Amino acid sequence: MTSNNSTKRPGGLDRRAFLKAGGATALAAILAPGLAGRAEAAFSGTLDMLAWDFQPDTIKTLVGEWTAKGNPAVNVAVIPNLGFSPALQTRLRGGDAIDLFYNFAYNSQKFIDQGWAAKLNDLPGVDDMVADMFESARPAYVNAAGDIISAPYFSAVHMMHYNDRMLKEAGIAAPPQTLQEIHDASKALKDKKIVDSPYVAYWVKEFCEEYLHTYLLNEGITAFDTAGKPVFADDPKTEGVFAWWQTMYQDGLAPKSVLNDDPGKLSNVMAQGDAAFFVLHHYFLTSIRSLNGPESANVMQSPIGGSNHTFQIGEVLQLGQIEDEERRNAAWDLMKFYGWKDSAGKFTVFNQWAKAAGLAAPYPGFFKDPDVIAAFPDYYDLPLISKTFETGSKVIPARTLPWYPDFQAKVGDIVHALLLGQATPKKTVEDLTAAANSAQKGRSL
Cα 371 to chain centroid distance, Å, stands at 21
Q: How far apart are CA 250 and CA 256, in angstroms?
A: 9
Q: How far apart are CA 346 and CA 340, in angstroms?
A: 9
Alpha carbon separation from 109 to 77, 284, 362, 390 (Å, rounded): 23, 28, 19, 24
Q: C-beta of 363: minimal distance to another protein in Å?
A: 20
Cα 237 to chain centroid distance, Å, stands at 27
How many CB atoms are closer than 10 A to CB 244? 18
How many CB atoms are closer than 10 A to CB 195? 21
Q: How far apart are CA 50 and CA 94, in angstroms?
A: 15
Q: How far apart are CA 244 and CA 172, in angstroms?
A: 20
Q: C-beta of 383: minimal distance to another protein in Å?
A: 23
In degrees and rounded to multiples of 5, residue 274 shows phi and psi of -90, 0
Q: C-beta of 200: minimal distance to another protein in Å?
A: 12
Q: C-beta of 199: minimal distance to another protein in Å?
A: 17
The answer to whether the beta carbons of residues 334 and 66 sit under 8 Å apart is yes
Nearer to another protein, 205 or 265 (CB): 265
Q: How far apart are CA 106 and CA 96, in angstroms?
A: 21
Q: How far apart are CA 52 and CA 190, in angstroms?
A: 40
- Identify the H or E element spanning 97: none
Residues forming contacts to another protein in the complex (CB under 8 A) are 52-58, 77-83, 86-87, 90-91, 93-96, 202, 207, 262-265, 268-269, 271-272, 274, 280-281, 287, 290-293, 315, 355-357
Q: How far apart are CA 143 and CA 147, in angstroms?
A: 5
Q: C-beta of 187: minimal distance to another protein in Å?
A: 22
Q: How far apart are CA 369 and CA 361, in angstroms?
A: 11
Nearer to another protein, 79 or 243 (CB): 79
Q: C-beta of 355: minimal distance to another protein in Å?
A: 6
Nearer to another protein, 187 or 265 (CB): 265
Q: C-beta of 101: minimal distance to another protein in Å?
A: 13
Nearer to another protein, 294 or 383 (CB): 294
Secondary structure class of 218 (helix, strand, coil): helix
Q: C-beta of 268: minimal distance to another protein in Å?
A: 3
Q: How far apart are CA 322 and CA 94, in angstroms?
A: 16
In the chain, the N- to C-terminal Cα span, in Å, equals 42
Q: C-beta of 353: minimal distance to another protein in Å?
A: 11
Q: How far apart are CA 81 and CA 84, in angstroms?
A: 5
CA nearest 381: which of 126, 90, 159? 159
Nearer to another protein, 264 or 345 (CB): 264
Q: C-beta of 73: minimal distance to another protein in Å?
A: 17
